């Protein structure tokens, strides 16, 4: 399941035809701009199939030193994959349900193993698929406008795009907490959590981008120095503590359990306001999603990114596809999950979602 170059635009002239994503050479930098501001730069298959071959070309091109990826419109970097289109296709038995996840994960892996400095300017909403386009890259620059979340358990999905790789590698049980609850991190907290590598004030981003583009044959260290300099000049909110600072020891304690039921019990047994709030949040999530996500992160903690993406592709094709539809269509946001309780989701049904697809498994 390799992406073929035939799906790529042949020349820069062709790029004007599909403005969903702009691919430009600026000096010695390749610049990718997600260009669907009306839908918060949601990622679709067309965009994926244009970005991937261009990334590969730039990686081999001696005239290209770095890659910068950003979102147009000032509100979002990328608010996620265009899941509704994928779900409609699933209903119709269309191959988009395979193609989208397959090609998206191949792109995530290409970013994770990219040989040149890859800089994601996550200046705005960054969720789901947008996280996949940024978090595996060498540099991720957050601003005060950044809003990060992996909200998938609330829509019957799981935090894919390599979530099984980067989430368990955050400190303590923070990744599991973010994955299960969909908790939103804002601004400087995105860097403090370890999701971003740097924090730079939004108004400084155009100058930062210009400086990066003007670098002469930069190494990763050269890029790092520029980003560090801009970060030092960005004092906004620096005096505020990390939003989860006072809860970190609670998170580590409450989310340490050998099962999701155990975590729920920990939360219910705890008298704190924080624990009550998390129990309430988890009770609204898809029980199947919670159990799949728990196992995904537990397994992914000891796998490399490629193997995590192979695992997540299996999950994307499994029962999750059938159980996610509900809330995407329900406007009232009161999903009726089936099964409706954690106890009803058997270990066997969860394990089944992780089983090999044989010759339909994801390959790189």
Scanning the structure block, which residue is given the tokens 């400095």? 117
Q: Three-class SS string for the chain?
A: CCCCHHHCCCCHHHHHCCCCEEEEEECCEEEEEECCHHHCCCECHHHHHHHHHHHHHHHHCCCCCEEEEEECCCCEEECCECHHHHHHHHHHCCCHHHHHHHHHHHHHHHHHCCCCCEEEEECCEEECHHHHCCCCCCEEEECCCCEEECCHHHHCCCCCCCHHHHHHHCCCCHHHHHHHHCCCEECHHHHHCCCCCEECCHHHHHHHHHHHHHCCCCCHHHHHHHHHHHHHCCCCCCCCCCCCHHHHHHHHHHCCCCCHHHHHHHHHHCCCHHHHHHHHHHHHCCHHHHHHHHHHHHHHCCCCHHHHHHHHHHHHHCHHHHHCHHHHHCCCCCCCCCCCCHHHCCHHHHHHHCCCCHHHCCCC
Q: Which of 103, 104, 123, 160 is catalytic?
A: 160
Instruction: Using only the alpha carbons of the chain, give its radius of gyration.
Output: 20
Q: Which of 30, 71, 80, 81 is catalytic?
A: 81
Angle, alpha carbons 183-184-187 (nearest 5°): 150
The answer to whether 129 is a known catalytic residue is: yes
The answer to whether 88 is a known catalytic residue is: no
Q: Which of 152, 189, 209, 312 is catalytic?
A: 152
The answer to whether 261 is a known catalytic residue is: no
Q: Are the CB atoms for 159 and 293 separated by under 8 Å? A: yes
Q: Are the CB atoms for 136 and 166 separated by under 8 Å? A: yes
Q: Are the CB atoms for 101 and 50 separated by under 8 Å? A: no
Taking alpha carbons only, the member of 214, 188, 202, 200 closest to residue 31 is: 214
Q: Which of 71, 90, 124, 129 is catalytic?
A: 129
The answer to whether 152 is a known catalytic residue is: yes
Give the residue numbers annotated as catalytic, written as ranges. 81, 129, 152, 160
């Amino acid at each position: 399941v390799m992406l073929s170059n035939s799906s790529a635009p042949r020349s820069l002239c062709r790029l004007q035809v599909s403005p969903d994503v702009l691919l430009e050479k600026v000096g010695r930098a390749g610049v990718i701009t997600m260009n669907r501001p009306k839908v918060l730069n949601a990622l679709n298959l067309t965009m994926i199939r244009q970005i991937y071959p261009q990334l590969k070309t730039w990686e081999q091109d001696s005239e290209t030193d770095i890659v910068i990826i950003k979102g147009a419109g000032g509100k979002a970097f990328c608010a996620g994959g265009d899941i509704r289109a994928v779900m409609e296709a699933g209903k119709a038995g269309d191959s988009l349900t395979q193609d989208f996840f397959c090609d998206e994960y191949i792109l995530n892996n290409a970013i994770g193993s990219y040989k040149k400095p890859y800089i994601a300017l996550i200046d705005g909403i960054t969720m789901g698929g947008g996280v996949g386009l940024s978090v595996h890259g060498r540099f991720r620059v957050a601003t005060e406008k950044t809003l990060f979340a992996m909200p998938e358990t609330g829509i019957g999905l799981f935090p894919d795009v390599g979530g099984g790789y980067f989430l368990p590698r955050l400190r303590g049980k923070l990744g599991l907490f973010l994955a299960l609850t969909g908790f939103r991190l804002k601004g400087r907290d995105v860097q403090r959590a370890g999701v971003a590598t740097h924090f730079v004030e939004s108004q400084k981003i155009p100058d930062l981008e210009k400086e990066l583009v003007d670098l002469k044959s930069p190494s990763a260290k050269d890029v790092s120095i520029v980003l560090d300099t801009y970060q030092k000049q960005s004092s906004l909110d620096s005096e505020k503590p990390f939003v989860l600072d006072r809860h970190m020891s609670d998170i580590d304690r409450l989310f340490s359990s050998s099962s999701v039921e155990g975590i729920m019990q920990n939360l219910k047994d705890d008298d704190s306001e924080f624990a009550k709030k998390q129990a309430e949040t988890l009770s609204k999530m898809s029980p199947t999603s919670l159990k799949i996500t728990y196992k995904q992160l537990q397994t992914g903690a000891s796998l490399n990114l490629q193997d995590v993406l192979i695992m997540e592709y299996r999950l994307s094709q499994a029962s999750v596809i059938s159980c996610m539809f509900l809330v995407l269509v329900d406007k009232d946001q009161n999903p009726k999950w089936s099964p409706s309780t954690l106890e009803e989701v058997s270990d066997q049904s969860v394990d089944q979602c992780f089983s090999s697809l044989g010759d339909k498994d994801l390959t790189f």
